[in-house]
A and B are shown apart, each in its own frame.
Chain A
Amino acid sequence: MEGVEKGPVTEPELPPGRGELSAALTGYLRGTGPLPDDAAIADAAPFGDDLQLALYLCYELHYRGFAGVDAALEWDPELLRVRAALEQPFLAALRAEATRHEHADDALDELLVEPADGRGVTRFLRDEGELWQLREYVAQRSVYHLKEADPHAWVLPRLWGRAKAGMAAVEFDEFGAGRAERVHARLFADLMADLDLDPTYGRYLHESGAEALAVVNLMSLFGLHRALRGALVGHFAAVETTSSPGSRRLADAMRRTGAGPAAEHFYREHVEADAVHEQVVRREVVAGLLEEEPWLDRDIAFGVDATSCLEDRLADRLLGAWRDGESSLRASV
């Protein structure tokens, strides 16, 4: 496996809009039209395709931007005002729907119990997933994994002491510990190639449903706001806690379907790595942050709960479609 990027890194293409908000956003980014008005934002479904894509477009300017879009728009005051207006209903819906715990430890302890008779996406893929379903899963997860650990880096200046040291150590590991060929986002790109998917950053944005975009928007929302640093840490802890057993099931799925060595390797690497990360995040990052800022306990719990809520929504979308023998994507890959 080659460990270096092939060719120049290009910015992703702007996707087509999915409704009034996202269509207006793409027009504004191209410089051809006005931003959506507040009434249209207030009318949109918080977890729907239109609002989620509009929010994704705003956030992407902080990562790699889009081809043909002025990089300076990242700090355009009008665009930031609209972004805040889009974030408000998303965050309000999450607080209302997702919140189940008041304490970080309670929220995380619940994730440590493996359901013996559990159903769910990774169990489905391990036991009966077909190659086309694995490809659909990976295509939609690529929107997340090709940004893996990126928005979590934004929390580093907002932490100190044990929390900062622990977070930086795990991030270093996620970013390949100094080796480009081991960057987790790179390993995921190799996995995509095994599944005959295009590993270009942002390539499957258009095909991904609102549920897959919401998972990414959640970490961008938490990562970009210092006020939500507790939620970002909770989100990261939830991901690292659930990743190891889920990755084992996905590695088994990749082996059973003969997906390829890089496809299996990505998930095998995460079985071991995330068993370590879980411990470090729990003992150093979460415990360290609670020591420094005990009032963030409820926010950390919210970050865990919000992550579970949106992952469950994504699981419902995937399994619902597959049980009906249908594609879970908006367009085929």
Chain B
Amino acid sequence: MPDNPVERSRRIIARREGPLLVEGPVEVVLEDGTTVSSERFCVALCTCRRSRIFPWCDTSHRRHARAACPDADR
């Protein structure tokens, strides 16, 4: 398979939980017609719809514990 990303299929890693991982760079067209782009080697696209920086993942999909050890937070 050629190494040039233009000539090969772009790999997307999908799991039930967590973001879609897409090899960068990418352009994402949003519903209002605006385009956001990232040159990162890999981007994490939000699938839970809770991200405050949508379409990028900000880890908002994580579970929240009711009474966790306070030391676990930093």
Contacts and interface: CB of A to CB of B under 8 A. Distances in A.
Interface of A: 110-123, 169, 172-173, 177, 242, 244-246, 248, 268, 271-273, 275-276, 278-280, 283, 308, 311-312, 315
Contacts of A120: 70-71, 73-74
Contact of A169 (B39, B41, B74): B41
B57 to A, nearest CB: 4
A117 B21 CA distance: 30
Contacts of A118: 68, 70, 72-73
Nearest to B63: A113
Contacts of B44: 275-276, 279
Contacts of A115: 64-65, 67-70, 72-73
A204 B57 CA distance: 34
Given A115-B72, A244-B59, A308-B72, A177 B19 contact: no
Contact of B58 (A172, A272, A280, A311): A272
B10 interface: no
B66 interface: yes
Contacts of B68: 113-118
Contacts of A242: 74
A151 to B, nearest CB: 20
13 contacts: A110-B72, A115-B72, A121-B74, A123-B73, A169-B41, A173-B40, A271-B58, A272-B53, A272-B58, A276-B40, A279-B44, A283-B13, A312-B74
B74 A122 contact: yes
A122 to B, nearest CB: 6
Contacts of A112: 62-63
B53 A271 contact: yes
Contacts of B73: 114-115, 118-120, 122-123
B38 to A, nearest CB: 8
Contacts of B59: 244-245, 275, 278
Contact of B41 (A173, A245, A275): A173
B42 interface: yes
Given A177-B41, A246-B74, A116 B62 contact: no
Of the candidates A173, A276, A308, A315, the one having the most CB atoms from chain B within 10 angstroms of its own CB is: A276
B42 to A, nearest CB: 6
Contacts of A279: 18-19, 21, 42, 44
A216 to B, nearest CB: 16
B26 to A, nearest CB: 12
A114 B65 contact: yes
B63 A177 contact: no
A276 B70 contact: no
A51 B10 CA distance: 51
B37 to A, nearest CB: 13
Nearest to B67: A117
Nearest to B13: A283
A179 to B, nearest CB: 9
